[in-house]
A and B are shown apart, each in its own frame.
Chain A
Amino acid sequence: MENNKIHTVVISGLGQTSVGEHWDISLRELAFFAIEKALVNNRGGYPQALYLANMLAPALSHQSHLATMVADFSGLRGIEATTIEASGASGGMAFRQGYMAVASGLVDSVIVAGVEKLTEQTSVNVNSAFATNTDSEYEADHGLTPTSQAALLMKRYIYEYDVPDFAFSGFPVVAHANGASNKNAMFQRAIKPESYQRAGFVSEPLNMFDVAPYADGAAAVILTRAELVADLPEIPTVSVSGSSAVIDTLALHDRQNPIVFNAAKESIAKVYAQSGLGHSDIDLFELFDAYSIFGALSLEAAGFSEAGKGWELAQDGRINLDGEIPISTFGGLKARGYPGGATGVYQIVEAATQLMGLAEENQVKGAKNALVQSLGGPASTAVTHILSQIER
């Protein structure tokens, strides 16, 4: 439809900081370090706009008006800059804003960056800030947190589908195996299934290995029109072949069937329709494993398994780097870490790195198309992209 009129958008620069506790680096410096890296390896023109993803800086870093601060500090005075917030999907949503700006032809080149600091406050403060991402009046005011909400989902899933104990262990095991060789990951050690079985409950049935760690981090990607990028002979150029954002009810209790991620499903159907690609074309899936139950529900929403069986994919190697649908190829949220609004930009940077063939030990061999999905809340917002190698 409108695809006939929009421009082809490609990635011309990538940058990321390590994910973890950056207590010696301020929010603005963290964002700048990622942006600086993306600018240094940029193969396109100078960016005219910054779309900055962030989730909780007004609450946890005492800073709003964030994009202006980051653009100013990054030496980008005079450009357009704005902050994008969509809970955990902020990074994906900022990328979509950048994509739309370039695809429309209104802007030649944009930086999409994400930054977040989640490790500098007490857990009570962090919990309070995260709780504002739920429906404040009807969820948070009753003591619900995103983590206990994921536990409610997991409990109901186990009940309805009668899954065995430790059904979800495959998700953290695969994430940590992939994180072990990612020098930017928060956790760079593999774990054994037995460790999962011994772990203490965070909010039963959710144990500590079912929950991605809150972290600090920043990532950046530069987008431009295909004809404005300088080709490199040895590295493939990566384009955005599909982009979509879909919302569901904000509150989990407002859904007919809470254990189906409908927005995630619809968002994927849209990127398939836009790109002309389907399941069999997807070589890797960067999904939003903030909780292992999200991993199962996301695989089901994407159609890689039927409802109630997403966890089985994680049990027998099918989501490993050499499996039929590799996920969390650099550790995902569980091992790379969960730096709030920056997460979606990390997912894009990682998927693009795979398609450029630069993933080293984490490389998915022959990867040509990557599905990337960021979720805000329990798929209250779902933002999905397909990145593709441009054939030459």
Chain B
Amino acid sequence: MDIPRHWRLRKQRYGLVGEVCEHCDSKVFPPRDICPDCGEEAKTLFSFSGKGEVYSHSTVYDAPKGFDESTPYTIAMVKLEEGPLVTAQLTDLQEKEVKIGMPVEMVTRKLREAGDERSMIVYGYKFRPVMSH
């Protein structure tokens, strides 16, 4: 069930809340309290814009529990405009061909269902192609 584990992650999952290093201004996601760039303490919260581009992508056909009902799905590493890479699914692709460098933006979607009908549904960030206006 893992309810506390998923609950603890709500800020990251729903708001892409990471950290900023007060020493070198590096933006950190996921939060890890020690700046990966300068090694100093980095505990100041920072909300990412959710904008970025596709760094790499592939398709999952053979998935773990909780994801096996939604195959095939597109998995990606997204380079956020503030710097960090994140691993996430791409969504709302319709017929759009995914390419490295494609601009994407964060949306909140269902990540997985954890087992039977009495178990929780986990929501979190995915990325979709930036809507053109």
Q: Which residues of A contact B (CB under 8 A)?
A: 123-125, 127-128, 130-131, 137-145, 147-148, 151-153, 155-156, 159, 201-206, 249, 251-255, 258
Contact = CB atoms under 8 A, between A and B. Distances in A.
B87 A203 contact: no
Contact of A124 (B56, B59, B64, B88): B64
A213 to B, nearest CB: 13
A128 B30 CA distance: 22
A141 B62 contact: no
Given A143-B67, A203-B60, A203-B62, 17 more contacts: A123-B62, A124-B65, A127-B63, A128-B64, A137-B5, A140-B64, A143-B64, A147-B62, A153-B56, A155-B58, A155-B100, A159-B56, A203-B59, A204-B59, A206-B58, A251-B30, A253-B84
Contacts of B106: none
Q: Which DSSP category, helix, strand, loop or mixed, fits chain B's interface?
A: strand
Contacts, number: 104
A153 B56 CA distance: 7
B60 A143 contact: yes
Given A152-B75, A152-B77, A155-B56, A254 B85 contact: yes
Contacts of B64: 124, 127-128, 130-131, 140, 143, 145
A94 to B, nearest CB: 26
Contacts of A204: 58-59
Nearest to A126: B64
B34 to A, nearest CB: 12
B120 to A, nearest CB: 12
B55 interface: yes
B122 interface: yes
B73 to A, nearest CB: 6
Interface in B10-58: 30, 36, 55-58
A139 B5 CA distance: 14
Contacts of B36: 249, 254
Contact of A202 (B57, B61, B67, B88): B61
Contact of B65 (A125, A249, A254): A125
B65 A159 contact: no
A297 to B, nearest CB: 14
Contacts of A252: 77, 87
23 contacts: A124-B63, A124-B68, A128-B64, A128-B66, A130-B64, A137-B9, A138-B30, A141-B112, A143-B73, A145-B64, A148-B60, A148-B75, A152-B58, A156-B100, A202-B61, A202-B62, A203-B60, A203-B62, A249-B36, A251-B30, A253-B84, A254-B85, A258-B77
B63 A143 contact: yes
Interface residues of B, number: 34
Contact of B63 (A145, A253, A254, A258): A145
Nearest to B75: A148
Contacts of A143: 60, 63-64, 67, 70, 73, 75, 89, 111-112
A128 B62 CA distance: 10
A143 to B, nearest CB: 5
Contacts of B66: 128
A145 B62 contact: yes
Contacts of A123: 62
B2 to A, nearest CB: 9
B56 A152 contact: yes
Interface string B82-123: 001111110000000000100000000001100000000010
**Candidate in B36, B64, B77, B100 with the most chain A CB atoms within 10 angstroms:** B64
Contacts of A127: 62-65, 68
A182 to B, nearest CB: 27
A141 B111 contact: yes
Contacts of A258: 56, 77, 85
Most buried by A among B66, B75, B112: B75
A144 B58 CA distance: 10
Nearest to B85: A253
Contacts of B70: 143
